[in-house]
Structure 1
Amino acid sequence: MKSYICLCFLFLIAFSTTAQNEILNLWETIPNHKYTTENEAIEVKDVKRVFLTKTPTIKVFLPSERSANGSAVLICPGGAYRYLVYDWEGTDVAKWLNSKGIAAFVLKSRLPLSKSLITPHEAPLQDAQRAIRLLRANAEKWHIKPNKIGVIGFSAGGHLASTLGTQFDAPNTFKEQPLDTISARPDFVALIYPVVTMQDNFTHKGSQTNLLGANADDALIARYSNELQVTKNTPPTFLVHSGDDASVPVENSLNLYKALKDNGVPSEMHIYPYGGHGFGLAIGQGYLQSWTDRFCDWMTQL
């Protein structure tokens, strides 16, 4: 009898964990896709890296109902559009957001180097738009408010998040389902050491080449240079960068902030003197780790 009770208890724990960290496919029929024998790959060293995403998903992280404040954040991990730093800039961030009462959803988007894509540069934004729509469609289920759904992105994930923030209404180039008619506009955007521009002066060359190819024309470069795409309808934006970032120059954030200011978009920017690139939550890195407090302060006044 005791063994039976223990087994039931363990089952309930497993069921609860599964419900908490539910993984949902974004698409029933993946658009912009062709069949290949290519397989997704995962590399685990200092961090977990996901390559060649085959099936784009979101992973659900919900705070306790008692702590939940109704806000939700879609998380876009970085990785130069070559891979996704899935834990360091994904699931670790989701757990931190949960500790603040915020529902979190880690996006595993398609990556443009995959041979399974027909038009590679369109796939990441298609997945991010679909993810926001999926969050809004399931707002009641996850106890989130449909007008308090934002996005946070790191590095190249910051480029995807800023593309979503400035081009959320990019028209679908595939046969729409009812879900695809829901607004994909995030209510707020947070960009952490983001790639913003694809122009050669300040871009991250690896991200540019991986997303657009080695010989992108000027029109495509301008299309994905998000400092050029800001409008008055761009959501409120929070920016964090370090002045000594040798991988993604701080000018990515500076120039985007200027464009936001010029268009009257409420914005807040924090430039730290040190930190380099890829500091994530910056745990144990002095006052650099205070960026997470600044983000929470900013969210409370939205």
Structure 2
Amino acid sequence: MNFVSWIISGSLFFGLMMVYSGCEKSDAVIDTSMEEAKVMPESISIKSSYEGKNMNDKSKYAHVKVNNTISDIVKHPAFEGFGRFILPLDRGYYDENMQLNRVGSLLPYHNNVDPETVVDTINYMIDKVHDGDKIFYHFYTVQQVQDDSSKKSTGLFFFKGEQGAPFAVVCPGGGFSYVGSVHEGFPHAIKLSQKGYNAFVIQYRVGSEKTACEDLAAAISYIFRNAELLNVATEDYSVWGSSAGARMAANIGSYGPSGFGYYGLPKPPTVVMAYTGHSTYTKEDPPTFVAVGENDRIANPALMKRRANALSDAGVDVEFRQYPNIGHGFGLGIGTSAEGWLEAAVQFWEEHMASNNIRRPSDSAEPRK
């Protein structure tokens, strides 16, 4: 058993606990109760940032509204073959007739889940398909899926930036019991693509931190192998994660894809991690941006700060941001004290890009068609 396997296997018990509780594991005591963890997320009212098409369009690319159902999304013709990955349905029990105005109930360990914003995000993706973009890729081969059928539950959503620009892989959280892409995956990737960067959101297998990290390593390998086809630069790539997804990003930062079976690939030069109880690190970790809410009762802010300080003491460049009056799973933090944290993380990433020959996208860049 190699070192990484030993580290990960030591957390299997806590990983099983997360599947049932929805809370990520931690190497320290977290000041929360099961009752607090099960509080349904709050919603905020914000104005849509996306321009809609004809909402009465009955074509393949028809937009959805908050009174559409889960079934409408899963079976939407624009999402043929991957509609089940748009919403966090990984836990396997849900009412397919539930309307999207109750989407927050699918993400019990997240806050600030606004149905209108979720609908805007889904409609943005429908528009991308309408524009001819291929937005979903399988990163495991047919043979790999035949050998392990659980790998059917994986894939990469792709949001194009400028041609040849660096890429980011975004890992949504969900306590390894669901993948909260619609709240802290797609919105992040859309923002990054609008800044000119190529952004991927990973759909990974739930139930195990180790398996999720293996999926992330496989996805990074896929992007590197297909960089020319995808028209992305492999230099200066970054890995982003929130909650359980931040554990994935941190593990890849510490051990690289090679730590999870995909050899010959570099570590990400930058890691961005939001609200996680992950505490392990190495002295060779890449520069790391850290964000957390001061009222987070799942990812202890003091634990995150202690890890950030330890990294800094080891010579790793770290930026730690703690936001007042906000708890766990805040996503982009729109309408809260954390609003704008993604822009700060992008600036941190840009400051640590080493390749002078890589053109950084301008803030006003429009994603390529």
Which letter does structure 2 place at the counterpart of 1:239?
A: V
Q: Distance in 2 between matches of 1:14 and 1:159?
A: 30
CA distance in 2, matches of 1:269, 1:252: 12
1:268 alignment partner in structure 2:
319
Q: How far apart are the structure 2 equivalents of 1:274 and 1:293?
A: 20
> Equivalents in 2 of 1:80, 1:55: separation in Å?
16
Q: Within 2, Cα distance between the matches of 1:88 and 1:72?
A: 20
Is contact 1:195–1:248 with CA below 8 Å preserved after alignment?
Answer: yes
Inter-partner Cα distance in structure 2 for 1:293 and 1:69: 21
Map 1:1-302 to 2 at 5 A.
17-30=131-144, 34=148, 54-63=152-161, 65=162, 70-112=165-207, 120-168=208-256, 169-170=258-259, 172=261, 180-197=262-279, 226=280, 229-232=281-284, 234-285=285-336, 287-302=337-352
User: Letter of the aligned partner of 2:156 in structure 1?
Assistant: I
Return the TM-score normalized by structure 1: 0.68
Counterpart-to-counterpart distance in 1, 2:299 and 2:147:
30
Q: What displacement does 1:274 show?
A: 2.1
Closer/same/farther in 2, CA of residues 271 and 32 from structure 1, 3 Å limit: farther
Measured after TM superposition, the shift of residue 259 of structure 1 is 2.4
Higher relative contact order (CA 8 A, sep 6+): 2
| Cα displacement string for residues 13-44 of structure 1 (whole angstroms, at most 9, x for unaligned residues) | 886645341322334444897558xxxxxxxx
| CA positional deviation for 1:298 | 1.3
- Alpha-carbon offset, residue 125 of structure 1: 1.2
Q: Gapped runs of 5+ residues in structure 2?
A: 1-58, 63-77, 79-126, 353-369
Q: Secondary structure at the match of 1:25?
A: coil
Q: Which amino acid aligns with 1:123?
A: T
Is residue 133–residue 182 contact of structure 1 (8 Å, CA) maintained in 2? no
CA RMSD of aligned residues (A): 2.8
Q: 1:14 to 1:70 in 2, by over 3 A?
A: closer
TM-fit CA distance, 1:296 = 2.2
Query: TM-score of the superposition, structure 2-length normalised?
Result: 0.56
Structure with a larger share of its residues in strand: 1
Shift of 1:105: 0.5
Would the aligned equivalents of 1:130 and 1:184 in 2 still touch at CA under 8 Å? no
2:5 is aligned to none
Across the two proteins, how many residue pairs are aligned to each other? 228
How far off its partner does 1:146 sit?
Answer: 1.2
1:182-206 C-alpha deviation (Å, 9 max, x unpaired): 4051121000112313xxxxxxxxx
Change (3 A) 1:153 1:239: same
Q: Aligned with 2:232: secondary structure?
A: coil
Contact 2:170-2:240 within 8 A present in 1 as well = yes
Residues 206, 212 of structure 2: 8 Å contact kept: yes
1:76 Cα deviation after fit:
0.4
